[in-house]
Structure 1
Amino acid sequence: MSVINTEIKPFKATAYQNGEFIEISDADLKGKWSVFVFYPADFTFVCPTELEDLALNYEEFKKLGVEIYSVSTDTHFSHKAWHDTSDAIGKIQYPMIGDPTHEISKNFEILRPSGLADRGTFIIDPEGVIQSIEITAEGIGRDALELLRKVKAAQYVAAHPGEVCPAKWKEGEKTLKPSLDLVGKI
């Protein structure tokens, strides 16, 4: 059962951000766009490349009113240690949520039987509804710029009811208005 178009479930967790431990809950997501980026584990190989890519593009997400949350089943203490020892992870300014109880990973249906989270990305609208999901295999890294494009498309569709964004749509390009007149003409 997919969680697409469902409201996120309640959660509370501790995150590491900018030298501090902070509390994060589902209530913090309400009223703004959010992206949850699940990854298998701290101190691994593909994960730091993805999280650094997000860190390097974080300001672009913030300009769109989007908060990034990285999540793994490691603790917030592990996130701090990784942040303090890795050049790539040291660039992160967004919250790094620890999910050692697996509550959040289970809520998003991203938990593996091994107890690690899959590599999954969720775009969540201001009402707390999941608008996009991407899950990749262990060895396939994600691209922050492609995620940014998807966020812009989700925001556009939310702001323009009745319009949809076609494949490879970029901000400012033509959208579609599904109707009977359009059937068979694409």
Structure 2
Amino acid sequence: MTNIDLTTAKPLAFPVPFTNLPSHLLICTFNHEVAAQTLGPPMLTDEVDGLGAADFWAFEYPCGLQVVFQFVHTQPGGLVLADSPEVEHVARHVPFDGSDMQRIDADALHSELDLLLSALPDRKPEIDSLHAFQVWRQGDDGNPFRIGKPTSERDAKCLVQHYEALGHKQLYWCSRVDQNPISPSP
């Protein structure tokens, strides 16, 4: 799937609203200068404890996903952080080629989730529902077909909007994975 257009995102003011242990989900394999070619001038340049100067960009997409790009000048790459640990959702919104990024592995994601839950236990329902929704497409024969893997409600709704915007004649919707995928009325 192609990345969702960065021009639909609005800049976030610093400090970003999710500074309480954001989830670092992607590692970029290029430096801050390359990032600036796509993201524009840094929205903030600040010191990162013990690492030196870093450039930051922060955006909120129409679906509500909030993403921060952090590139320390002395490092060969950067980090993509988000307000929620929705790895695939974040990857679709990042305006860089997938070959220039690495997703954090399952063990690292598990550590991020443990850290998040130990600091913010009230986010447990959100973490528990990261794979609670499925996107569906109605085929030409009228039968429902799954699209992708189960994901969060926000990501599923974002995907439905993306597919609908492509102008295909198919009907798209999302539902909880534990519910019957009855399609909505067109």
Q: TM-score, normalised by structure 2?
A: 0.27
Q: Pick the structure with greater CA Rg.
A: 2
Which structure's residues are more often strand, by fraction? 2
Higher RCO (CA < 8 A, seq sep 6+): 1
Q: TM-score, normalised by structure 1?
A: 0.27
